Amino acid sequence: MTLRYGSTRGDAPPLDFADTMLTGLAPDGGLYVPASFPALPDLDGLERYADVAAAVMWPFVEGAIERAAFERIVEDAYASFDHPDVVPLVPLDDRRWLLELFHGPTIAFKDVALQLVGRLFDHFLTERGRRATILVATSGDTGSAAMAATVGRAALDCVVLFPDGGRVSEVQRRQMTTIDAPNVHAVAAAGTFDDCQDLVKAAFADRAFRDEVQLSAMNSINWGRVMAQVVYYVTAARAVRRETGAAPVFSVPTGNFGNVLAGWVAQQMGLDVAGFLVASNRNDILTRWLETGTLTAEPVVPTISPSMDIQVSSNLERLLFDLLGRDGSATAELLREFRAAGHVDAPRPSGWWGARLDDDATRETIAAQWARHEVLLDPHTAVGVGAVDRVEGLPDAPVVCLATAHPAKFPDAVEAATGVRPALPAHYADLLDRPERVEEVAADLAAVEALVRRLVRPAA
Ligand SMILES: *Cc1c(COP(=O)(O)O)cnc(C)c1O
């Protein structure tokens, strides 16, 4: 059976999985979602992560790719992780587990989705005799994950713009500038992250340029990313059930809402989940919404968990669409009102909680977990772990805290809280000594377009 995908705003022609992936945003401005949620398959006898992953994702891709080819791609994607369990679940204390999502090439959770999505893009483009240029603006994590997902992919080039005057840490910059591959390019743009984002948006809006270099995005609204993240909710819930006999609460450090939305999808597919705890830093629109029922935009403030410095979480639209009875025009209307007024009353899911931690509380959590358990948490993971102690009314269930980055990705924050500087994993041991390769560009659309034209490989 071939699953079709439609827009959350209800006004775009349905597509199959491959076209959904390659299209990104729907033409009506909405996000693609499956016409219905398939049931979780029978996983009896499946133990290896890649085997579970192929089985869980198959109903989403069936009809767009051969089963054997899909299994090969999944196998290959997760062979890039340096832990045999891919996403190990480790006990933290008598109630909490850490689901370590940072064993991929760039030591943050975006690898789990992008290692797969890069390979799927390459497969579908090659099949169609096409190529694409992935253009990304990054404040840190997304850039290196997109580059690592593109290395070695024949149909893809990748250009990442990061702010030269921004808050990209040395580790994050070097993760981008030390990749030595002919089809990926790190570019330092004059200005801030917002400048980079505006330049990328303007390049996408330039239709002639977009067609000329076949611009494409792999951002967190891409359904393929959500789909890949569903898998670890399934593996973690299964492992917790084996240990405790109970269904877990998931505590999820949240920015663009892609990660926790994948948990919602897993639950809609039949996974037994006791609740979701949405953990925010001071950019707490989601916590306020879960407390009051109103979405109210506030200016973004910088924190020590920068990948969560987001106010308007794009993937929230997919949850709202489900909560509005999958009514596209009601979803479009609600979002229109939100954009116009800056606030809107929005339905809330039951069994969800929200909690916020400011930077002091985040540092306290990092320090406390180090003192008690000799575990180093990165600041994003710490927001999720600390949220469990700060929320009222959570069910008395085991809690799985999603660990979204390796502590060595944010060594300054971790060292400030604990006095210990976390060591990089083996494959990055010499990261600080590797030669850097970086292009520079003015914050100017014509300059960026000229650079991209020069960097991308000509079509074969
Ligand atoms: C991207 C990111 C997040 C936020 O995930 P969303 O899917 O955007 O909610 C949290 N932590 C880290 C380390 C990230 O890179």
pTM of the model: 0.96
Nearest to 129 by CA among 110, 154, 146, 105: 154
Only one residue has tokens 């994948």, namely: 262
Distance CA 67, CA 55 (A): 10
Rg (CA), the chain: 21
Mean pLDDT, the chain, rounded, equals 95
Q: What separation in Å is there between the alpha carbon of 175 and the centre of ligand 1?
A: 17
Decide if 113 is inside a domain: no
Structural domain tally of the chain?
1
Nearest CA to ligand 1 atom 2: 307
Beta bridge partners of 132: 156
Decide if 215 is inside a domain: no
Which of 111-125, 188-202, 291-305, 389-403 is predicted with the least confidence, judged by mean pLDDT? 188-202
Residue 382 predicted with pLDDT over 80: yes
Q: What separation in Å is there between the alpha carbon of 111 and the centre of ligand 1?
A: 11
Ligand 1 atom closest to the CA of 110, numbered from 1: 15
Decide if 289 is inside a domain: yes
Nearest to 223 by CA among 26, 9, 460: 26
Which residue range is the domain that position 295 belongs to?
89-107+226-418
Q: What separation in Å is there between the alpha carbon of 380 and the centre of ligand 1?
A: 8
Distance CA 443, CA 206 (A): 16
Which pLDDT value is given to residue 136? 92
Which pLDDT value is given to residue 1? 75
The single-letter DSSP state of residue 15 is: B
Average of pLDDT values for 376-397?
Answer: 97
pLDDT band at 115 (very low <50, low <70, confident <90, very high): very high
**Residues with beta carbon inside 6 Å of ligand 1?**
108-110, 141, 220, 253-259, 307-308, 380, 404-405
Distance CA 116, CA 1 (A): 22
Q: What separation in Å is there between the alpha carbon of 176 and the centre of ligand 1?
A: 18
Q: What's the sign of the alpha-carbon dihedral 370, 374, 379, 380?
A: negative
Quick: pLDDT tens for 201-224: 899 899 999 999 999 988 888 999
- Name the residue of 100, 101, 106, 110 to mutate for ligand 1: max ligand atoms within 8 A of Cβ: 110
> Helix axis angle, 141-150 relative to 170-177, nearest 10°?
20
Which pLDDT value is given to residue 460? 56
**Does the annotation count 110 as an active-site position?**
yes
Name the strand (E) or helix (H) holding 318. helix 316-323
pLDDT band at 305 (very low <50, low <70, confident <90, very high): very high
Tell me the percentage of the chain whose pLDDT exceeds 90: 90
- CATH number, domain of 310, equals 3.40.50.1100
Q: What separation in Å is there between the alpha carbon of 387 and the centre of ligand 1?
A: 15
The residue from 9, 103, 110, 131 that is catalytic is: 110
CA dihedral (21, 23, 29, 33) in degrees, to 10, reads -30
Distances (CA, A) of 161 to 136, 196, 282, 309, 439: 6, 6, 26, 18, 9
**Residue type at 133?**
T
Nearest CA to ligand 1 atom 1: 307
Distance CA 159, CA 6 (A): 29
Helices (H), 207-314: 207-213, 223-244, 258-268, 285-292
* Cβ contact 269:230 at 8 Å: yes
Q: What separation in Å is there between the alpha carbon of 304 and the centre of ligand 1?
A: 13
Distance CA 440, CA 163 (A): 10
Which pLDDT value is given to residue 167? 75
* Cβ contact 71:79 at 8 Å: no
Distance CA 161, CA 164 (A): 9
Decide if 361 is inside a domain: yes
> Phi and psi of 206, rounded to 5°?
-85, 95
Q: What separation in Å is there between the alpha carbon of 255 and the centre of ligand 1?
A: 5
Which pLDDT value is given to residue 194? 81
Decide if 4 is inside a domain: no
Nearest CA to ligand 1 atom 4: 255
- Assign 67 to helix, strand or coil: helix
> Helix axis angle, 411-418 relative to 359-373, nearest 10°?
70
Q: What separation in Å is there between the alpha carbon of 63 and the centre of ligand 1?
A: 31
Decide if 310 is inside a domain: yes
Ligand 1 atom closest to the CA of 256, numbered from 1: 8
Decide if 63 is inside a domain: no
Quick: pLDDT tens for 345-376: 999 999 999 999 999 999 999 999 999 999 99
Decide if 267 is inside a domain: yes
pLDDT band at 191 (very low <50, low <70, confident <90, very high): confident
Distance CA 278, CA 299 (A): 20
**Residue type at 56?**
V
- Name the residue of 141, 286, 303, 307 to mutate for ligand 1: max ligand atoms within 8 A of Cβ: 307
- Name the residue of 227, 261, 308 to mutate for ligand 1: max ligand atoms within 8 A of Cβ: 308
* Residues in CB range of 379: below 8 A, 6 or more apart: 303, 304, 305, 362, 363, 366, 410, 413, 414
Q: Which two tokens stand for residue 211?
A: 């067609």
